[in-house]
Structure 1
Amino acid sequence: MPLLEAAGIRKIFGKLTAVDGAALTVRENEFHGLIGPNGSGKSTLMKCIAGAEVPTQGKVRFINTDITTFTPTERARAGMSLKFQITSVLPSLTLYDNILLALQGHCSLFDLVFSRSRRQLHDQVMMMLTQFRLADRAFDAAAALSHGQQQWLEIAMALAGKPRLLLLDEPTGGMSLEERRVTGELLRPIKEHCSLVIVEHDLDFIRDICDRLTVLDQGRVLATGSVAEIQADKSVQEIYLRRA
């Protein structure tokens, strides 16, 4: 049974059809990339999956439940987590407190009211900071981090609730080559417990970490397959040459 199924997704904004009948299937413990030229509908499809946009037509099923009309909060409770391209960490707070707040979002009201969560969550906070190579900056303000480090912090925050599916929209945008390499290293271990859908323009990056790719062009799915199958697809080669 697939973890995520999006079928016949259509999204219309006025006279613009941004996504036109797109479909996406993601399996358990799979890294699935969404690629295509600028304006192909990748981010809009991602938003329809995440609940930031409601599709004009089509269905989204997650863990065999129809979540098409679920709010983003309801999707998060079901086990889905999203990180958009723009970093949304709290810059004046320390890295430690950013992670702590993300974890506290999944605590009971009783633990929060009686201030038990900080002590109980300390080990988890430090474990996540260590996992994303940020433990030595734990008590620095998030604003002091490089752009790439802020992205790693936000990915760690998105994983705080132990989601079954993580959605990432262009996480390497603005990163250096070294930061992109490290980002791939940081993401690979989460496959043991979390699937990933990632929108990315860096084809080398996405090719290195993804199991399968879906290619969009003008709002429609052009091809879906393994990395090798997509690389060999003549129609995919054509659209990238056409838009180069």
Structure 2
Amino acid sequence: MALLEVRNVGKSFGTLRALDGIDIAVQAGTFHGLIGPNGSGKSTLLKAIAGAHFPNSGSITFDGRDITTATPYERARAGLSLKFQITAVLPELSAYDNVLLALQSDQSLWSLLSSRTRRRLNGEVMTALERFRLADRADDLAGELSHGQQQWLEIAMALAPRPKLLLLDEPTGGMSPEERRVTGELLQPIRSHCALVIVEHDLDFIKDICDHLTVLDQGKVLDDGTVAEIERSTRVQEVYTSRV
């Protein structure tokens, strides 16, 4: 059984049919890319998986559980984490405290008020920062980090609760070519414990890190397969590459 199964999912906004019978399956331990022209439904699908939008039809199953109408909180508790396109770090807190808060998200109010978890979680916070090359910026305000470093910090925060599946919406937007390359390197180690679904316009980046690609066009699945299969797809060449 796939870790994530999206079956015949549809989503409409008034007369606009943003998703029209979408089917995808994501296996545990794999990186799955969603690509397609602007307006093809990529971000809408990601939000439907995360619970930011509820589909009008179809079903979404995660780790054997139907989450079609589950709240974002319930999905997070089940092991699903999301990083949106726009960076959402807390700029007036240190990089350290941003990760600490992410780790404390499932703690009781009493534990937070009594600061019982800060010392216990110190090792996990520093490990997360080291993994994303931010250990030397731990005490710096998140707002003082470069754009690329803020993106890495938010990915570290999204991974802090140890999700089974991470959803990333254009994580390399606004990054330099070198930062995009490093981002790919930093993501690779999570395969051992976390699958990835990623929306990205940088085709070179997504082809380098993903095992499987789903191509969307006008709210429908245009093609689906390995990177090599998608590169050979005449449908993708005719419809997608000319409009990206």
Q: Normalising by the residue count of structure 1, what TM-score does the alignment of the two structures yield?
A: 0.98
C-alpha separation between the residues in 2 aligned to 1:148 and 1:242?
A: 29
C-alpha separation between the residues in 2 aligned to 1:29 and 1:141?
A: 33
In structure 2, what residue type is equivalent to 1:24?
A: I
Q: Equivalent residue of 2:225, what SS?
A: strand
Q: Equivalent residue of 1:105, what SS?
A: helix
How far the C-alpha of 1:115 sits from its partner, in A, is 1.6
Deviations 1:39-97 (A, max 9, x none): 10000011111100000111000011100000111100000000000000000100000
Structure 2 stretches of 5 or more lacking a match? Answer: none
Deviations 1:5-42 (A, max 9, x none): 00001010011001100111000101000000111000
C-alpha separation between the residues in 2 aligned to 1:220 and 1:192?
A: 31
How far the C-alpha of 1:242 sits from its partner, in A, is 3.6
Q: Equivalent residue of 1:163, what SS?
A: coil
**Identity across aligned pairs (percent)?**
67
In structure 2, what residue type is equivalent to 1:88?
A: A
Residue 217 of structure 2 contacts residue 240 of structure 2 at CA under 8 Å; is this kept in 1? no
C-alpha separation between the residues in 2 aligned to 1:143 and 1:241?
A: 36
Alignment match, 2:16: 16
Alignment match, 1:159: 159
C-alpha separation between the residues in 2 aligned to 1:113 and 1:240?
A: 52
In structure 2, what residue type is equivalent to 1:231?
A: E
C-alpha separation between the residues in 2 aligned to 1:201 and 1:35?
A: 7
Alignment match, 1:64: 64
Deviation >2 Å, runs of 4+: 106-114
Question: Any residues of structure 2 matched to 1:224-243 within 5 Å, and which?
Answer: 224-243=224-243
In structure 1, what residue type is equivalent to 2:82?
A: L
Alignment match, 1:4: 4
Q: Equivalent residue of 1:171, what SS?
A: coil
Query: Quick check: 1:150 aligned with 2:150?
Result: yes
Kindly report the root-mean-square deviation, in angstroms, between the aligned alpha carbons of the 2 structures. 0.9
How far the C-alpha of 1:106 sits from its partner, in A, is 2.4
In structure 2, what residue type is equivalent to 1:4?
A: L
Question: Any residues of structure 2 matched to 1:68-87 within 5 Å, and which?
Answer: 68-87=68-87
Alignment match, 2:47: 47
C-alpha separation between the residues in 2 aligned to 1:37 and 1:128?
A: 34
Q: Equivalent residue of 2:222, what SS?
A: strand
User: Paired residues, what number?
Assistant: 244
Alignment match, 2:107: 107
Q: Normalising by the residue count of structure 2, what TM-score does the alignment of the two structures yield?
A: 0.98
How far the C-alpha of 1:243 sits from its partner, in A, is 1.7
Question: Any residues of structure 2 matched to 1:162-177 within 5 Å, and which?
Answer: 162-177=162-177
